[in-house]
Every structure is written in structure tokens, then in C-alpha cells.
Amino acid sequence: MTQELQTSASGSRDSFLPAELVPEQVLPKVMTTFGLVATYVFIICWISNSSVMAAGGWTAIPMWILGIITFLVPAGMAVAELGNLWPGEGGVYIWATRTMGETWGFVGGYLSWIPVILVTASTPAIMLQFLLLAFHAQLGLTVSIILQLVLLWAFVGLALAKLAANQRVVKTVFLFYLVLTAVIFVSGLIYALKNGSGTPFDAHAATVPDFTGAGFLYGTVLLYLLGVETPYNMGAEFLSVRKSGPKMVIWGSVALVAIYLLTTLGTMMVLPSDQIDPVTGVIGMLGKAAPKGVMEVAAILFSCILFVIMVTYQVAYSRLIFVSGLERHLPRIFTHLNPRTRNPVTALLIQGVISSLILVGLYSQSSMANVTVFIQGGMSTVWLISGFFFLVPVLVARKKYADRYASEQFWRIPGGTVGVWITVIIGTLGTIGGIYYSFAKSWLKEVGDGVWMTWTGSISVGMALLGVVVYFFGRRSAHKTSSEDALAHLAVLDLGNTQTTKSES
């Protein structure tokens, strides 16, 4: 491994980055196409998001469609092409580094990673709200925060298990997710046929996006479609990136679009828009539309699904910290892998610590429901910016690596140069619109735009400052050790893996 690292340090255009070389040798390849589709859906699609959309009324439907056209499709095609061009661990970091330079690679990787901190800080509150719905209970603030921390560290603890074991759970729970979606939609449809739609149907609202009265929904839609690049953080762990990557994006996108649209429609067909809880409404509607007990079981089931989703999040995003350690943006300790599970232990633990601090700091200041949405708005603003780091690189890659495009066979955006430019322009305009409607327009009816911008702006600035600290202090500390010394412990893992392979053969 040391000789290969010395070769990678030559600085030529085609030399390997440590992030491309090392994970291939020390991480197991266990991600199948079906497992990747399930992972893709879990990272992007949360049916609790349909509660917010349904509360916006029938204009939510054209907003969903607009978001799919202007963001999901362009983003999906861009990451599928880049993931096939550079099928390595680290996703956005590798793509941006190869096309825009090392510093921009770090910025893109950081912006793509930071959502896991905010998601992990807010998800325990969402889970708790569904459990409280199921048991018809209430909790005090202190008990609530303690339970949220317990849930958070349970995510982290299970993420330390072997990836193969996590994948088996993910595949099974994915099927339950589809069943839950069907229950919500069918219950809503039957209720509407008997009693009329809870949110009266409006043909104009259902076909024409209302940016004047409900522009904030566009920002929420883009947040709910973010994450298409995330599975590529584990590129070295795909059984076959070039075969499974495009299938993952296509079938995963079809599944998440169906889940979102069906659960949004199911909720609107039962409840008036002003009676839909922005977090639990998608399950709460079953209390009115389904037999007694179904809502409670569904709320518990979705809490369990969220638990598995968050374990998936921890696993996928910890790879970016691991890669930052390999690239010496962070000290050697962040490259530490558990010898048995091959998971980046330090990366998972640091994610848990930072999320815990944010959870305690924010949820002690306001209601669970409001802070959950505030965090989502701040996360959307920051995360959407990371989109430029997989849209712009497609244009640069087509020119800078034209020889590879001419000599290699891999999936790419159809239509040649024209197709790429159309994809990037549409994706860029959609991303800019999403940033505006995430930052400047309140997602809560009872919260004004000024208060909303204060919260989302503060969260965004806080994440930016954290990035500056990580870049300067982490990089300075990491560069005190040579790359060979920093990665010496991984060579032992590689040797152990080789010996195991020989003994089995």
C-alpha cells in the first residue's frame, strides 16, 4: 500500500487520490443493487415530509412535480455520470477535487456531510412525536431531551455493526416502508370515496404551482429530494458501481416519487389542510380513515423505520469524515477502522457528539415541532449549496477528461454536450430557487419570514463557521504527520484481509 500511495502523490492528472486507493483495499464490497435502491430511498424519502406538503393543500402536487423536474432528475443524472467516472469512496469530495481542486473538494464534501449533523439532531424529536402519537402521551422538556439523546446514541451504536448486517435490515425494512405507503394511500382513497376529500379538490391548485401564496413549498420539496449523491460516499463498497449506480438512481427515484406522492395524496384526502400536523399528520390521518388501532401500529412502525433510516445515515455520512482523514484534512484518528466491522469508529462517534450538542442547545429553546422545521430550513439552505459541487463538475469533467469519455464505456447524461448543459442549467436554476425559498420564506404559518430567516440564517452561519474551524485546525493538525505514517495502521488491515482471503482459497 505504501508504494501505491507514493505513486498517488505524484500529482499527475490520473494519479490516484488516497480516498480512491485505500478504501478499495480495506473496505468490504457488500452493497447490492437492491440494497443500494433501499439505501437511496431511505436517505432521501421520509413520509413525515408529506405532512408538511399536504398541509399546503393541492398546490403541493405541482410543486412536487416541479421539484422532480428541476432538481431530482438533473441531480440524479449528474451524480450517476460522475459516480461512474470516479467510482470511489467519498462521492462529492472526489468529484469536486478532480475538477475544481483540493480546497473546493473539501468545501463540497463538507457541505454534503453537514446535513447528517442536523438530521441526527432533529430526527429523535420526530421519532418521539410519532411514539407519543401512538401512545397518546405527553412528556416534559427534560425527559424529552433525555429520550432524544438515548435514541441518537442508539443510532450511532448500531451503525458500528458490520455493513453487511445493516444491509440485510435495510432491505427488509424497505418492504415494510412500501406496505405502510400503500396503507396510507388506500385508507385515504376509501375515506375520500365515502366522505369526500378532507382537503377539497381544486383543479387549478392541483395543476399550477402557487409561488405567491405557497412558494415555501418549493424549498421544502427540494429539501425532501436532496441526498441523491449520498450513497456514492460508499462507492468503494458497491459490488459494482458502474452496473448498480445508474439502476440505483433510476429505480430509487421512481420509488421515492411514488412514496411521496401517494402519502401526500392520502393525507389530503382525509384531513383539511389546516388540521394537518406538520410532523405526524401523514400517520395521524389513519386515526380518522382506518380502523381503530391502525394509526397506533403505523406510528410505531414508522418510528422503527426512522430508526433504521438514521442508522443508514450514520453509516453513509461517516465515510466522508473517513475520507477527510485519508486526504489529511483531519488528523489520523479519523481514519481509524474497527478491525472486525471495518467501520470508521471515530467518524461515527464525532457525528454523534456534535449532533448531541446541537440537539440539547436547540430543543431547550423552543417547541419540538417548530425547532424540527427550523433545522430542516437551515439544513436545506446549506445542503442545496452542495449541489453546485456535482452540477458544475460534470461540465468540467467533460472537457478535462475528454479522453476518458472517448475511450471508456460508462453511463453518461444523454444528448452529448447539449444534454449536459441543459441538465446543469435546469439543475442550477432549481437549486438557486430552492435556496431562496428555504432561507427567505417561512415554512410555518405561525412564524413570520423575519423570525424564520433569523433561525435558518443562524443555523447556516453556525455550520459555515464549524467548516472554517474544521478546515484550518483539522488540516494543520493532520499535516504534522506524513501520509505514509498516517495510513500505516490501514496497511495492517489490508494485510489481514489478504491473509484471510488466502486461507479461505
Helix (H, G, I), strand (E, B) or coil at 59: coil
pLDDT at residue 489, as a whole number: 59
Q: Is 242 exposed, middle or buried (0-12, 13-18, 19+ CB in 10 A)?
A: middle
Poorest-pLDDT segment among 349-358, 371-380, 428-437, 456-465: 371-380
Asked if residue 242 is part of any domain, the answer here is: yes
Nearest to 96 by CA among 450, 376, 389, 319: 389
Once rounded to an integer, what is the mean pLDDT over residues 222-239? 91
pLDDT at residue 265, as a whole number: 97
Average pLDDT, the chain: 87
| Cβ neighbours for 153, distance < 8 A, ≥ 6 positions apart | 352, 356
Asked if residue 502 is part of any domain, the answer here is: no
Provide the number of structural domains found in the chain: 1
Q: Which long-range contacts (CB under 8 A, 24 or more apart) does 335-340 make?
A: 335/486, 335/487, 335/489, 335/490, 336/489, 337/26, 337/27, 337/490, 337/493, 338/160, 339/493, 339/496, 340/162
Whether the pLDDT of residue 363 is over 80: the answer is no
C-alpha cell at 46: 421520509
Poorest-pLDDT segment among 263-277, 295-309, 373-387: 373-387
CA–CA dist 473, 468 (Å, integer): 8
User: Is 490:325 a contact under the CB 8 Å cutoff?
Assistant: no
User: Given pLDDT bands bounded at 50, 70 and 90, which one contains residue 401?
Assistant: very high
Judged by phi (left if over 0) then psi (alpha if -120 to 50, else beta), residue 90 lies in left
User: Given pLDDT bands bounded at 50, 70 and 90, which one contains residue 483?
Assistant: low
Of the two residues 493 and 23, the one the predictor is more confident about is 23
Backbone angles phi, psi at 89, to 5 degrees: -70, 135
Once rounded to an integer, what is the mean pLDDT over residues 147-156? 93
Burial 396-412 (b: 16+ CB within 10 A, else e): ebbeebeeebeeeebbb
DSSP string covering 332-386: GGGG-B-TTT--BHHHHHHHHHHHHHHHHHHHTTS-HHHHHHHHHHHHHHHHHHT
Once rounded to an integer, what is the mean pLDDT over residues 175-198? 96
pLDDT at residue 116, as a whole number: 87
The enclosing domain of 284 has a CATH number of: 1.20.1740.10
CA–CA dist 312, 42 (Å, integer): 7
pLDDT at residue 19, as a whole number: 81
> What confidence tens digit (pLDDT) does each residue in 238-277 have?
988 888 999 999 999 999 999 999 999 999 999 999 999 9
Whether the pLDDT of residue 501 is over 50: the answer is no
CA–CA dist 359, 354 (Å, integer): 9
pLDDT at residue 179, as a whole number: 96
% of the chain with per-residue pLDDT over 70: 90
Once rounded to an integer, what is the mean pLDDT over residues 478-490? 64
CA–CA dist 319, 247 (Å, integer): 22
Asked if residue 1 is part of any domain, the answer here is: no
User: Is 117:351 a contact under the CB 8 Å cutoff?
Assistant: yes
Whether the pLDDT of residue 25 is over 90: the answer is no
Asked if residue 9 is part of any domain, the answer here is: no
| Cβ neighbours for 458, distance < 8 A, ≥ 6 positions apart | 378
Once rounded to an integer, what is the mean pLDDT over residues 440-460? 87
Of the two residues 422 and 480, the one the predictor is more confident about is 422
pLDDT at residue 499, as a whole number: 41
Asked if residue 210 is part of any domain, the answer here is: yes
C-alpha cell at 196: 369526500
pTM tops 0.85: yes
% of the chain with per-residue pLDDT over 90: 51
Whether the pLDDT of residue 139 is over 60: the answer is yes
Of the two residues 17 and 96, the one the predictor is more confident about is 96
Whether the pLDDT of residue 2 is over 60: the answer is no
Range of the domain at 427: 17-485
Helix (H, G, I), strand (E, B) or coil at 403: helix
Asked if residue 172 is part of any domain, the answer here is: yes
Asked if residue 137 is part of any domain, the answer here is: yes
Helix (H, G, I), strand (E, B) or coil at 310: helix
pLDDT at residue 145, as a whole number: 87
